[in-house]
Each structure stands twice: as structure tokens, then as C-alpha cells.
């Protein structure tokens, strides 16, 4: 395993709050400490920068409290961008905002014809694009991604509403090495994952509940919530370097490290 410098896009949680319910983690009756949210997010940014990764920023826009979850804003592979189209009306304006950022930077951007929620449901290994469906992204979005990126797209069915995006149930370690929580997937999708990734690291239910599968790996270092204790131990056993970053305020919106992190792959 080897650290691979990454290029990330992030959005400051200036307007983050929980004012509606679109996933089981959200409860508007639970207060959000905005100052603490920003401090926790800044720690995540500082961690990436300390590891030598490049971080760019998109300006947060009022009226878009979930814009901090940058991973949902697009998918970028080989310098090409597939824009996002959100299922929930509350987040509908985020997709165009992220696409406009990439267009302004000169990236080729494909406007989506089907619902897809960016890297929330598209995760990239060396040989595949793993694509989640069941709660947010339409299967038609999977076909659209395969055509645009020219890479094999593997559809995976999510069945537990707590893990409504693929990036809450699976993350890529390096190459074609992944970590996932089997209980988030249908039996058929579990069989596909076992066939394609026989050496995958399997997480426990407790890891998943701690949002441990919403981790970010650069091939060596893994940014992981500290509550995912079994996963942290398993990563160490495999030779990875887990770095604990706690984002409890953002978890109130159903987000963790990966949700805040859109990778720009060139």
C-alpha cells in the first residue's frame, strides 16, 4: 500500500442545519451547534492538507444546508464530470451549483438525465465503478455513468434505509481493495461483491452504525470516525494507518468524512 496524493473539493458548512428529514439520521428537533460543525469540518480539511492532498473549495450557498456533503455533488473520473440530479426536492439546487463550479474550471460536464447523487452512489476502484441504488440513484443513472466514463459499472442494491447511499456502506481502500458492510446489501449484491472482491475487508454492524464505512482512504491513510473501533483495528492489521476524525455534528445530517469529500480524479 502506498499513499497516493488526492485532489478534493469541499464546501464549508456555513449554512448547515437539520431542518427537514430525508434520511433516518436526521431529526430537526435535535439542535445543531454550527460553530462546532465548522470546527470539526476544519479539522477534516487540515487533516487532508497535512497529508499532502490538494483541497479546493466551492462557496456555500444560503438555503442549501446539505451542500457541505460535497461527495453528492458530482462524480469525476479521468477529468470528466457527471453532474448530480437529486431525488429530494430539498437538495435539487445543489447539482447545478456543483456543475457550474466544474464548468467554470473548464471541466467537461455531462448533465444527468436520471437521478444520481454523485459519489454518494458512485465509488471508483481500479477496474470498476461501483454504483448504489435502492434509495436514491436510479439504475438508469448507472447506465448513464458507464456510457459517459467508459468504465464497467457494477450495480449494487442497498436494502437498509440507514445506509441510503453506497458511501455509507462501502469505501475503496486502494486499487480493487474495498471495505464494506454486507448487511447493507441485497443477497445478490453480496454475492457480486464476494465474487469481485474476495479479499475485501468486512465491517461489522457496529462499524456501520458509527458511519465507519463513510471513511476516506488515500491508499495508506484512512480517515475514519473514532467510534468505528473494530474497523480501526482491522485496518491496522492490514497495514493501513487509520486517522480518527470525529464529525458528530454532521452525522446529525447523515454525513461523515466521505460525504464531505468529493474526489477530483484526473
How far is the CA of 112 from the CAs of 74, 85, 137, 231, in angstroms?
10, 6, 11, 35
Of the residues 142, 165, 179, 260, which is catalytic?
165
What stretches of 106-253 show up as alpha helix (H) in DSSP? 139-149, 187-196, 205-209, 229-237, 248-251
Contact 98, 105 (CB under 8 A): no
Cβ-based burial of 255 (10 A; exposed 0-12, middle 13-18, buried ≥19): buried
- Give the count of alpha carbons within 13 A of 12, CB side only: 12
53 is catalytic: no
Of the residues 11, 53, 142, 259, which is catalytic?
259
230 is catalytic: no
The residues annotated as belonging to the active site are 165, 259
Amino acid at each position: 500500500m502506498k499513499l497516493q496524493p488526492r485532489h478534493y473539493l469541499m464546501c464549508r458548512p456555513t449554512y448547515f442545519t437539520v431542518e427537514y428529514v430525508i434520511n433516518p439520521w436526521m431529526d430537526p428537533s435535535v439542535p445543531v451547534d454550527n460553530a462546532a460543525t465548522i470546527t470539526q469540518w476544519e479539522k477534516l480539511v487540515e487533516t487532508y492538507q497535512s497529508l499532502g492532498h490538494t483541497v479546493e473549495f466551492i462557496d456555500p450557498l444560503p438555503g442549501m444546508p446539505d451542500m457541505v456533503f460535497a461527495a453528492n455533488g458530482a462524480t469525476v473520473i479521468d477529468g470528466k464530470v457527471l453532474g448530480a440530479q437529486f431525488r429530494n426536492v430539498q437538495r435539487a439546487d445543489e447539482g447545478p451549483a456543483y456543475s457550474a463550479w466544474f464548468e467554470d474550471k473548464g471541466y467537461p460536464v455531462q448533465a444527468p438525465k436520471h437521478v444520481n447523487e454523485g459519489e454518494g452512489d458512485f465509488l471508483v476502484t481500479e477496474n470498476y465503478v461501483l454504483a448504489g441504488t435502492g434509495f436514491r440513484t436510479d439504475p438508469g443513472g448507472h447506465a448513464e455513468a458507464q456510457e459517459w466514463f467508459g468504465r464497467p459499472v457494477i450495480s449494487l442494491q442497498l436494502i437498509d434505509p440507514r445506509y441510503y447511499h453506497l458511501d455509507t456502506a462501502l469505501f475503496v481502500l486502494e486499487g480493487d481493495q474495498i471495505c464494506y458492510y454486507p448487511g447493507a446489501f441485497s443477497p445478490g449484491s453480496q454475492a457480486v461483491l464476494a465474487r469481485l472482491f474476495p479479499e475485501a475487508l468486512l465491517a461489522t454492524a457496529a462499524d456501520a452504525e458509527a458511519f465507519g464505512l463513510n471513511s476516506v482512504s488515500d491508499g495508506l491513510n484512512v480517515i475514519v470516525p473514532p467510534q468505528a473501533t473494530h474497523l480501526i483495528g482491522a485496518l491496522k492489521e492490514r497495514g493501513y494507518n487509520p486517522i480518527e476524525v470525529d464529525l458528530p455534528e454532521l452525522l446529525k445530517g447523515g454525513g461523515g468524512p466521505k460525504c464531505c469529500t468529493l474526489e477530483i480524479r484526473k
